[in-house]
Amino acid sequence: MHSSSKGKGPPAPEPSWSSYPSEANTNKENCDLDASTLGRVEAPVPPSLKIKRVDHHYSDWDKSWKYRDSNSKVTAESSIPIFMRGPWEEYSFIFVRRIPKVQGEEPTFKIIIKNEYIVKACKDVIGSWPGISWNANPLEVDPEVFLTVLDKFTEYRDKLRDAVKKTIEQNHVLSSINLLLSFLYAEYQTTIRLIDQHKTHRETTFNHLYALLVPNSLLVARCGITGQPRVFELKSWTRGVVGDTLCYQLMCESVDLVDNPISDTVGISRVQANIAIKSFWGTIPIGELVIYPLKYHVEPERLKECVVRRGKKWVDLIGIHHKEFDGIAIFEKDICRTFRRAVKGRVMIDRVSFKRFNANYRFPIAAVKHISVDSSDPSASVANRMYPSRSIRSLYDDGSVAKNKVSIINDRQSVKPEISDEELLLTPTTVYGFSLSDKLWLQFDVEKISDVKWNSEAFTNLILPDGRRQLLQSLVEAHHREIGFDDFIEGI
């Protein structure tokens, strides 16, 4: 009997393990897919070339920041002042009055300079000034700056006008300066007349004090340490509020010794000095200001002679010197505290050792690169001490100097910097040193320093037979001939 296959389909296929979605099979399918799509990579999406302008503004209604569409006519340079572009470009300068938002406040003024020949004259007359760059565009200058140097501009104009031969550029400068001066005298005639009246009577007010503060002029003030008159050179000034007080902040320069850490030397340099003139009420004599122009001093020429003479003495005291002092010496503990002490006796003038043993002491800061002088200054760093240790004091404890120090003193004394009388006017009133009787590092008034008075009759006053006295003197002189030092002092 045969079995029939009628009604039966083909046999079911055997299950293949290769159809199981294993990791190997999946990778194989991915490889097949990558191979099939390799030839048809999609192109990158093109960038959007549209621009939208919006204003980010504060909504008073919702009390929040929101965005809104901007006006298409508003551009980024719409806020640029009109005097930088358009029809105002042709003017020599623009006088701007700024109306304050708050009613009752005084308007402010500024001059926008567009004329290159006025800019050239400003460079020659004014020079540098805080906050002003002669290359700026727009170039804004406070009218008070021009009123401050009004006399210098007039001299500059007169000198240019009196020149026999003038170039085309000089003629342009002259016409531009005439325009500026005529405008200032017409616009500020009352102010200029009042300033001239104050100068004639040697008086001033706080509002018109700027007219006295001419850059590069000499100012005189009382030294806060010695009380002696001291001269500074004014470089610039600014007016503002310090704390709650309105004042003029003067940037001045003087002359002092400054350390050069690169060459390990000490040199004479211009140093910075900032002095404030606080606001005052009414009209006061110019001489009552904390600092004022030297030409308004009662005896300016005599004062200059005294200051130059003191400056020469200050130069002679550069280095190490054994001197006498009779007066008040000081030590500045910090910017607000000063230690004062009456000293009468011998002192050692020695800035190098003072700085070594008072490394944290405040010394003047150089304003410009200084001129190097042959005077070494070791850069040892020791904590600032008012009362030095025994090892430090022992250098001068017995009133004498070690033998190896004599050559240093002589070497330093043999080389003295040569500076002009104009620089001598700006020298300080004090020197740094050590009080031998008090064993303290202090600053000494140059005027109160004198040479040691040696007693040449010390051996004569000894109660000894004449022969022994002469023998003893000969032995002492022979023993100390190489040292060349005599410690017999008058009154000892």
Residues 287, 319, single domain; the answer is no
Q: Phi/psi at 169 (nearest 5 deg)?
A: -65, -40
Residues 444, 314, single domain; the answer is yes
Q: Are 285 and 203 in contact (CB under 8 A)?
A: yes
Residues 458, 414, single domain; the answer is no
Residues 445, 327, single domain; the answer is yes
Q: What is the mean pLDDT of residues 239-245?
A: 84
Q: Is residue 330 part of a domain?
A: yes
Q: Is residue 56 part of a domain?
A: no
Residues 355, 436, single domain; the answer is yes
Q: 439: alpha, beta or left, given left = phi > 0 and alpha = psi -120 to 50?
A: left
Q: Are 444 and 341 in contact (CB under 8 A)?
A: no
Residues 260, 325, single domain; the answer is no
- Of 140, 158, 187, the position where a domain reaches its end is 187
pTM: 0.69
Q: How far is the C-alpha of 267 from the C-alpha of 358, rounded, in Å? A: 19
163's CB contacts (< 8 A; 6+ apart) are 170
Q: Phi/psi at 235 (nearest 5 deg)?
A: -100, -40
Q: Is residue 275 part of a domain?
A: yes
pLDDT, greater one: 424 or 383: 424
pLDDT, greater one: 141 or 389: 141
209: pLDDT strictly greater than 60: yes
Which pLDDT band, with edges at 50, 70 and 90, does 91 fall under? confident
Q: How far is the C-alpha of 103 from the C-alpha of 116, rounded, in Å? A: 37
- Own/partner pairs, 297-301, CB within 8 angstroms, 24+ separation: 297/220
Residues 412, 466, single domain; the answer is no
Q: Is residue 65 part of a domain?
A: no
- Bridge partner list, 238: 249
Residues 458, 396, single domain; the answer is no
- Bridge partner list, 270: 255
Residues 326, 433, single domain; the answer is yes
Element (DSSP H or E) covering residue 195 = helix 189-200
| Tokens 């020695």 found at | 350
- Of 265, 297, 329, the position where a domain reaches its end is 297
Q: Phi/psi at 6 (nearest 5 deg)?
A: -70, 135
Q: Is residue 60 part of a domain?
A: no
Residue range(s) defining the domain that contains residue 459:
453-492
Q: How far is the C-alpha of 84 from the C-alpha of 94, rounded, in Å? A: 11
Q: DSSP 3-state helix, strand, coil percentages of the chain (rounded to 5)? A: 35, 30, 40
Q: How many domains does the chain have?
A: 4
Burial of 447 (0-12, 13-18, 19+ CB in 10 A): middle
Alpha carbon of residue 167 to chain centroid: 39
How many residues make up the chain in this entry? 492
Q: Phi/psi at 60 (nearest 5 deg)?
A: -65, -25
19: pLDDT strictly greater than 50: no
Q: How far is the C-alpha of 85 from the C-alpha of 83, rounded, in Å? A: 5
Q: Is residue 15 part of a domain?
A: no
Q: Are 140 and 110 in contact (CB under 8 A)?
A: yes
- Please report the pLDDT score of residue 491 as a whole number: 52
Q: Is residue 1 part of a domain?
A: no
Q: pLDDT tens for residues 113-160?
A: 989 999 999 999 988 888 888 998 888 999 999 999 999 999 999 999
Residues 424, 491, single domain; the answer is no
Residues 274, 207, single domain; the answer is yes
Q: How far is the C-alpha of 289 from the C-alpha of 206, rounded, in Å? A: 10
Residues 283, 374, single domain; the answer is no
| Tokens 């070690």 found at | 402
Q: Is residue 182 part of a domain?
A: yes
Q: How far is the C-alpha of 483 from the C-alpha of 318, rounded, in Å? A: 22
pLDDT, greater one: 409 or 229: 229
279's CB contacts (< 8 A; 6+ apart) are 206, 245, 246, 247
Please state whether beta strands 245-260 and 229-242 pair in parallel, antiparallel, or not at all (unpaired).
antiparallel
